[in-house]
């Protein structure tokens, strides 16, 4: 095999369709767009249009609620903390919080605080400060002889009322 013998696989490159080049080409006059009307023009946007019938997305009832201000926590499992301790990235003797776990690369952005989940096994005795901990996470930390400190959420000051 030589560099001047390299070729694409057969069918890998497809020729561009030549449109609007006479009736004999098969794609002349309307260029394969059919007759007149909205779909023959540029900028067609009729997804969900059902010919004037009430569209399905409007026939079905609205349900649920999207909270515009959700509280999002940085999530960490006890197994991930144990893996970081085993790897030597976290010192189990020192108290842990969101900042120390971020510095160790266990979590990403701390967001609104740290949420501890109970997946995995914890062998080391740790002291950790979190915003929220699941029941299984509490049990895992207490079983290993550690302690969880629950932090109070930071309340934002209310906007002053307009007189």
Helix axes 78-87, 135-143, angle to 10 degrees: 40
Q: How far apart are CA 104 and CA 84, in angstroms?
A: 8
Sequence ranges of the domains in the chain: 74-150
Mean pLDDT of 129-134: 94
pLDDT at 150: 94
Residue 54: how many CB atoms within 10 A of its CB? 8
74-150 placed in CATH 3.100.10.10: yes
Burial of 128 (0-12, 13-18, 19+ CB in 10 A): buried
Please, what is the average pLDDT of the chain? 90
pLDDT band at residue 156 under the 50/70/90 scheme: low
Is the pLDDT at 163 greater than 80? The verdict is no
12-21, pLDDT tens digit by residue? 999 999 999 9
Long-range pairs for 158-163: beta carbons < 8 A, 24 or more residues apart: none
| The predicted structure's pLDDT at residue 129 | 95
């Amino acid at each position: 095999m030589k560099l001047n013998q390299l070729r694409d696989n057969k069918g890998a490159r497809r020729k561009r369709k030549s449109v609007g080049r006479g009736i004999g080409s098969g794609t002349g006059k309307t260029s394969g767009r059919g007759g007149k009307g909205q779909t023959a023009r540029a900028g067609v946007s009729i997804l969900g249009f059902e010919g004037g019938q009430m569209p399905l997305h409007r026939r079905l009832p609205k349900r649920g609620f999207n909270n515009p201000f959700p509280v999002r926590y940085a999530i960490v499992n006890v197994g991930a903390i144990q893996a970081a301790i085993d790897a030597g990235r976290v010192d189990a003797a020192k108290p842990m919080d969101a900042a120390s776990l971020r510095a160790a690369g266990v979590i990403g952005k701390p967001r609104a605080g740290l949420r501890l989940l109970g997946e995995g096994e914890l062998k080391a005795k740790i002291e950790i400060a979190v915003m929220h901990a699941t029941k299984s996470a509490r049990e895992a930390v207490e079983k290993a002889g550690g302690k969880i400190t629950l932090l109070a959420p930071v309340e934002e000051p209310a906007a002053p009322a307009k007189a």
